[in-house]
Amino acid sequence: MKNLFNFLFLIVLLSSCGKDVTIIHIGDTHSHLDGAILFCQHDSENFNIELGGYDLIGQVVREEKRKRGETIFMHAGDLIVGTRYFREFKGKPDVKFMNKMLLDVMVLGNHEFDRGPEFLSDLLEHARFPVLAANIEINNLPELEKVVKPYIITGSWPWHNGIIGVVTPETERISSPGDRIKFTDPAKSVEKYVKVLRDKGVKRIFVLSHLGFEEDKKLASEVSGIDVIIGGHSHTLLGYTGLECLGVKGSYPEVVKGPDGKKVLVAHAWDHSRALGKLKLKFDLRGNIRSWSGETSFLLREGTKIPFRLDRSPTNMFRVVDPEEDLLKKVKHYRDIISGEYGKVVGEIGENLSHDWEKGSDIAPLVAKAMVWRLGKEGTVVDVALQNAGGVRRPLGKGEVTFGEINDTLPFFNDIVVLKVKGEDFIKIVNNSLNLISNGAHYGSFPYLYGMKYEIENFKAVNFTVFREGEFVPLDPDEYYLLATDSYIAYGGNGYDMLGQITDRNVTDFIVSDVFAEYIGYKEVLYKPSISHPALQ
């Protein structure tokens, strides 16, 4: 009788302790300590709504972790690079905040490699949380090897969770990892470590991914044994909101059928510290998910007014958060340091300037125009300027604009480089970018030009013309033209390999973001470009 009682007691204990899990997740925060603006049209009126921030996220995480039960706080990569805060502090506040928030695990994103592997090693030295990337091979970088792991195991017996991290292999092309880091196939890496974890007796498998939403769904459909994928990289928002300006891409979570017939849950939580995902999982005694619920929360400060109700749907809500004093002070500390130079008004935006990688950009062609203008002031007359979509990171709202906001829009601190490019090579360079996009690469490489125009027919750039003596004339394939672009693109980033091979170049002392700020000051009021630019449909 005593043995039966003990057995029943054990069953009750196992049923109630550590069996269920709540995952709190963010991703693609890009050094947005203050959050970011949502530009939204509602009832024919335009609204600029301030959303999020590290202090608000930290408060929500604290409240969730104070509740009974297991809560895992995850970051889906691209922690750094993207605002004036990164330009000034080089990512240290981001790591310190994640430490303070008691982040449980993070996967590397492609932007973590933007300053090279040595910079990343130095930054992660301060991290008090595990950092994952199962599909990279690190050679002769012992400090980075010590920090980056393929997976971790969390929870307590018998309810262990295996968390595997994967980062986009495109990092080799779109960032600066160097030649001592090799990126391998994510699906094969996940398959390998699912088996490793199964052999260790771990039944519940989560993948923390920086592959992008479409690639996450593909991974879920191809690799057996995955329960949940928490993703980033594509800046994807999930869950019905009823607001067109939020650009929802699917359900929260998206449910994908795995190759073994098992349901795999895929969840993303947008970007720029504006939102936070919460996925509640209930497991049976065998370690299978028996039910789930979830939501994306858009975080608002007290006093922020929005023109619609807070609860948008069962899976999406605007939530007012009152952060505790220590979190407020920590953000204020960094904000106060940069408030001088970065708080200066440089000019005025005359109308909302949109920027969307897939739908098109008002800002990228204006940045290209600013390059031509600034070089011309110094006596360097260039024929064409190129700004890729990915070099611009956010829209700009109507009204006064500060130097800090320009740095948040153009956060990469790139020099302007002038190259001598043959006409026929221009055609190849633009078409190579479009070809990459048509074959599944993200739209960050999309080329916006000033001084040159082209049309797109069936994903091919045709009818190139260049501005000469007051009019656009056909591009001469045999003629050489001077091109201005940023240093990242000039050295072959984002798939512009042909530019990287050109040796006839001049690296100027001009920083793209500084030039754009100066151009806005020169114009006093900046409006949308007068010439429409092609966007991929």
Q: What share of the chain is helix, strand, coil (3-state, %, to 5)?
A: 35, 30, 35
CA 156 to chain centre: 32
Contact 131, 106 (CB under 8 A): yes
Largest CA distance in the chain: 100
Q: How far apart are CA 29 and CA 277, in angstroms?
A: 13
Contact 420, 380 (CB under 8 A): no
Q: What is the CA radius of gyration of the chain?
A: 24
Please name the residues in contact with 80: beta carbons below 8 A apart, sequence gap of 6 or more.
30, 31, 86, 91, 94, 111, 112, 114, 123
* pLDDT, tens digit only, all 537 positions of the chain: 555 444 444 444 444 445 899 999 999 999 999 999 888 877 777 788 899 999 999 999 999 999 988 999 999 999 999 888 998 999 999 999 999 999 999 999 999 999 999 999 999 999 999 999 999 999 999 999 999 999 999 998 889 999 999 999 999 988 889 999 999 999 999 999 999 999 999 999 999 999 999 999 999 999 999 999 999 999 999 998 888 788 899 999 999 999 999 999 999 999 999 999 999 999 998 889 999 999 999 999 999 988 888 887 788 889 999 999 999 999 999 999 988 888 899 999 999 998 887 778 999 999 999 999 999 998 999 999 999 999 998 899 999 999 999 999 998 888 899 999 999 999 999 999 888 888 877 788 899 999 999 988 888 899 999 998 889 999 999 999 999 999 889 988 888 989 988 988 888 889 999 999 999 999 999 999 976 655 433
Neighbours of 307 (CB within 10 A): 11
| Record: fold of 17-337 | Purple Acid Phosphatase; chain A, domain 2 (3.60.21)
Assess whether the region 17-337 and the region 344-526 belong to the same CATH fold.
Answer: no
Classify residue 267 by its DSSP letter: E
Contact 495, 430 (CB under 8 A): no
Domain ranges of the chain: 17-337, 344-526
Contact 79, 106 (CB under 8 A): yes
Name the class of domain 344-526: alpha beta
Angle between helices 92-100 and 117-124 (to 10 degrees): 40
CA dist 129 → 64, 101, 184 (Å): 18, 10, 24
